[in-house]
Structures are given as structure tokens and as C-alpha cells.
Amino acid sequence: MTEIRTILATDCGSTTTKAILIEKEPDGFRLKVRGEAPTTVESPFDDVTVGVLNAVREVEELSGKRILSSDNLIITPVNERGEGVDIYLSTSSAGGGLQMTVAGVVKSMSAESAERAALGAGAIIMDVIAVDDGRKDFQKVERIRQLRPDMILMSGGTDGGTVNHLIEIAEMLVAADPKPRLGQGATLPVIYAGNKEAFPGVKGLLEGRVSLRQVENLRPSLERENLTPAREAIHELFLEHVMQQAPGYGKLSGWVSSGIMSTPNAVGRIMQTIAEQRNITVLGVDIGGATTDVFSVFRDTNGNSIFNRTVSANLGMSYSICNVLTETGEENILRWLPRDISTADLRNQLRNKMIRPTTIPQRREDLQLEQAVAREALRLAFIHHKSLARGLTGIQQQRTIGDVLNQNATGATLVNMMTLDMIVGSGGVLSHAPRRSQSALMMMDAYEPEGVTLLTVDSIFMMPQLGILSTILPEAATEVFERDCLVYLGSCIAPVGTAKDGDPCISITLDGRTEDIPFGRIKVLPLAKGEQRSCVMQPVKSFDVGAGRGKPVTATVSGGEVGVIVDTRGRPLKIQTDKAEKIQKQKEWLEAMGIPF
């Protein structure tokens, strides 16, 4: 195989199609140019490739390189005149992405494992059907009939266990006779990932009615979760069934050098690649107009890296902005503003954004409100993520007092902010904030990092393209991610504990200078991008930065666009209830971060 030196990658989003050109230079792979155009999956075009070609033409203009042939095809590989690219890759979430229903026997066990498998494969979960979910059978049948998902994932039972409940779920599917969302007359793909003993009975009921595929059991035993085979099957069926029904995807599939990957799946891949290569724990977020995706790689009690993804399909910054308001309430949004506005004004501004989703803030006041909503969308999506990123439930075990005290005991969340190494923020409100310090503060307020955590953002949202590239050329994806995609904001130092405003909290020794920082403050210590320093943190006896209350910690901190941020506002973060005090505190914190208000 000839050496790959030039790569074109596109991401077909729900509103915008983004194209990037990557070339190999003496010092490794680098991003050369980026182009974008509106996505054309809906009428009047009904052909996703029109938007792809428009985005690629912009790349041609910016790079001065010819990529398209006279008959509007992407030239691969590079021809003798130096035209074209070595490989062309694409991801997509156009047409609403991958929408799935999952069905399991026990809601807190097999159905939850099925949900994790589907979310990890890049799906939006429309509903979770379980034998014990409290609904009557006719209600479940009605719900399955109404949903029209792209596919169904069916799971339940350990291998060799009972078969009756799985037969019940199959009978429900027969009664509902579900139809897929796309494609007239197409059969609905159903993936069976349950007790292998029950498959013959399930097959007898469903064969001929749906497109049935069996994979290994998601929970072959109570102690083991096996998500990979189901995730791979979801990805394959997405390409075979769903993509082929979407307008223009058949044509696009013929152009790409490797299969089209769903956008969230691709973002998950790059997160996993980075965590693996650096041997770190990572929390990533992609906040969009309609949904907020959260990705994490944490370690379980055995030290194994566990990848989780959740999608909050009703939390976003344009189409779903009023859902954020409904879910969090007016007061939770208003608490982040450095000024007083009426609840009527708040509601009207957010409704205007919902009906005009492509508008961007023109005034500082509008930007402050949008960033306040973003904090709440990020916070709520993270709460949802923590509820699903858990150890296995349903395991019977003898428990000692040590287990009871262990935060990561069976069924507890895997998310441990004190051991988190890096947060990666992505999506318009974080990637395109006018000042990088605004992105840092939004993530600090929403996620409340503990101990020492590196804050970063995706500069121009190219993680999907790098995710699919990481499956073919991981070193190229990592090089571009490090040099052109990831923007380092700086390390955040946050002691855990609470006290009265102004009480002693922590002393920081950095570059030979020691500074005492009282409780309730944000202090930015200058440290440039690319610089790392050893830092000694000595908390007072009621605070913890990773070694226990009152114990000193020496750690390496990284500089960035903002610097080293010391956040002594306490964990958990509490905002004052008095309106005047609250506004005064917000102004103090914005001023400390160098953000005009």
C-alpha cells in the first residue's frame, strides 16, 4: 500500500457539513484548511452529497489544490498530476442520527447494559422497554408501534438462564409490528444480544417479520458485561440499513475509502484513543443545538478503563433551549448572571432563540444569558451521564464495611472527579466562545472539577473526522488532535470542602512563590501554553486536594490560554441565595477570570 500523505474528511451534521484537509509535513500530520456548507439531506436537494461537494469546493479554494474531478467526484488516490487525496473519510449525524429503542428483561440490569451498548455506538435512545418497567403490556406494544426507531436492541438473561421473559419481549414485538423510520417497505433491524438458550424461540417468533441478527450476550453472567459485539453490530446495521435509506448516502458510501461512521461514535473513538495513548482519564462533552453528548473514560475498581457515552436528546442551545429552561427552572439559570433580569425577559429571549435557532448573540447581555443556559445544559447532561456510567448492578456479593465506604462499589457511578485528568469541551458555545476564559469558567461551574484537572476545548470541532481517522491512522489522528484541534486552557486546582467566605483555604507554591488563597475566590496564576511546572498545594485541615483533608499534594500543572486556575469556591459549589450578594459574587468571579461584564 502506498504511503498516505493527504487525507480529506467530512462530517455531515444535522445543519452543517464540515470538511477538513490533512497533509503530512516533515514534522508529522497537520490540518491545512477547513471548509463548511449547509447540509442538504432535506428538500429541495434530498441528497447529502450536494452539501459534501460544496464544503469540499471551499477546501479547494482555500488550499489551491484540486480535489474534485470534472464530473464532480472526489479524486482518490492522488493522480500523477498531484490532484486529489490519498483517502476520503466521512462521518454523519444528518437526518437525525441513529435512533434506537432498547428492550431488556430487568430495567436496572439487562436493559441498562443494552442502553450503555447503544449509547456507546452513537445512538439516541428513544425509549427503554423492560419487563419490569411498570407499564402494562398493551402500553408497551402501543409505544413500540408509535416510535418508528432505526433499529431495536433486545437483551436479557444470563446464558443458560430463564427464557420466558425474552419470549414475552418477542411476542410484544410481534404484536406491535414496528416499522423503521426510513425506507418505505423496509424491514426493521433487530439485534438479539440476550440469553443464547432463548434465541431459537425468539427466532421462531420474529423471523420473516424483522431483520434479525444474533450477537454474543451483553450479560453472559451477572459479573460480566460484554458490550463490544452489540456495538459493532449496531454500527454495521446503521451502515447497511439506515444510511442506505437516507437521501444520497448510497452515493456517498461509494466515494469513501472506509465505511461512514455516526458522528457521536467517531467522537467517542477519539476520546478513547487519547485516553489509551496518554494513559489518562478523560471527560468530554459535545453541546449542540438539539442534544448534549457526554463521553468519559474512567477506571473501575480493578483499574480497567471503561468508556461510557450518554446523549441528553432534550438538552441543547437552540432547538432544545426551552427544554433546558423547563428542566432546570428559571432560578438556576438566573443565578449565573452578573445582573438582574425579569423571568419574563428570560423566557422571551430563550423562546426567540428556539424559533430562530441559527442566531448568535449580538450583545454582551445575550452572550451572558446563553452561557448561563449552557452551564445548566452541561450540568444536567452530566448528572444523566453519572447515572448511567456505573458499575454492574444485580451482583450478589458479601459486603464488608470497606465496600460500604467505597465510592466505586458495585452499582456506584464510575465518575470520580478527584481522579479525572482532563476535560475536553466541544460544540459551538464552548469552541467559539469569544474568550477562552469563558469556556473554562462554564466547564468549572457545570462540572465542578476536584483536585487538579486539565481544561481543554476543541478549537474548531473536528473531533468526528479525527475519530474516524483514528480507526485507520491513529498516529495521524493523535498528531492533528494534539497540534491543531486541542486548545489547552490550563490546569484547574479545586480543593474539596466548604467554609465561610474569606476563611483560610489553600496555599499554592508555584515558580518559587507562595500565595495563600482564601475560600470563595477564583485566582488565575500566569503559566503559558506548553509550559509545565511542579506545584505544591497545602490545603487547610478541612479541605482535600487528593491526598486527604489537610494533606499537601505536589503535582505537575500545565499552562494554557488562561493559565493555572485556583478555584476555592468549594465542592459542592454553592451559590448565594440573596440576589444582591449573588450578583456581586458573579462579578467578582468574572473579573478574576478577566471576563468583561
7 has a pLDDT exceeding 70? yes
pLDDT at 97: 66
Q: How confident is the model at residue 124 (pLDDT cuts 50, 70, 90)?
A: confident
What pLDDT, in 10s, does the model give residues 225-252? 888 899 889 878 877 776 667 788 888 9
CATH code reported for the domain at 6-93: 3.30.420.40
Average pLDDT for residues 56-65, to the nearest whole number?
96
21 has a pLDDT exceeding 60? yes
Residues 6+ away with beta carbon under 8 Å from 277: 474, 478
What pLDDT, in 10s, does the model give residues 169-181? 999 999 999 988 8
Determine phi and psi for 199, rounding to 5 degrees. Answer: -60, -45
pLDDT at 318: 86
406 has a pLDDT exceeding 50? no
Fold of the 97-255 domain: Rossmann fold (3.40.50)
Q: What CA–CA distance (Å, rounded) separates 199 from 161? A: 12
Query: Is the pTM for the entire model greater than 0.85?
Result: no
What pLDDT, in 10s, does the model give residues 485-512? 999 999 999 999 999 999 999 999 998 8
**Which of helix, strand or coil describes residue 362?**
coil
Bridge partners, 261 (sequence order): 91
Q: Give which of 108, 400, 74 is closest to 251, Cα–Cα.
A: 74
Q: What CA–CA distance (Å, rounded) separates 583 from 95? A: 42
What pLDDT, in 10s, does the model give residues 542-562? 999 999 999 999 999 999 999
Residues 6+ away with beta carbon under 8 Å from 45: 51, 247
Q: How confident is the model at residue 522 (pLDDT cuts 50, 70, 90)?
A: very high
Higher confidence at residue 545 or residue 108? 545
Provide the residue ranges of all domains of the chain, joining segments of one domain with +: 6-93, 97-255, 264-592
In DSSP notation, 144-211 reads HHHH--SEEEE--S-TTS--HHHHHHHHHHHHH----SSSTTPPPEEEE-S-GGGHHHHHHHHBTTBE
47 has a pLDDT exceeding 60? yes
Dihedral of alpha carbons 464, 356, 97, 325, sign: positive
Higher confidence at residue 523 or residue 392? 523
Average pLDDT for residues 97-118, to the nearest whole number?
87
What pLDDT, in 10s, does the model give residues 392-405? 654 433 333 333 33
pLDDT at 396: 36
- Provide the b/e sequence for 393-417 (b: ≥16 CB within 10 Å): ebeeeeeeeeeeeeebebebbbbeb
For the chain, first and last CA: distance in Å? 57
Q: Give which of 5, 8, 9 is closest to 29, Cα–Cα.
A: 5
Q: What value does the mean pLDDT of the chain take?
A: 89
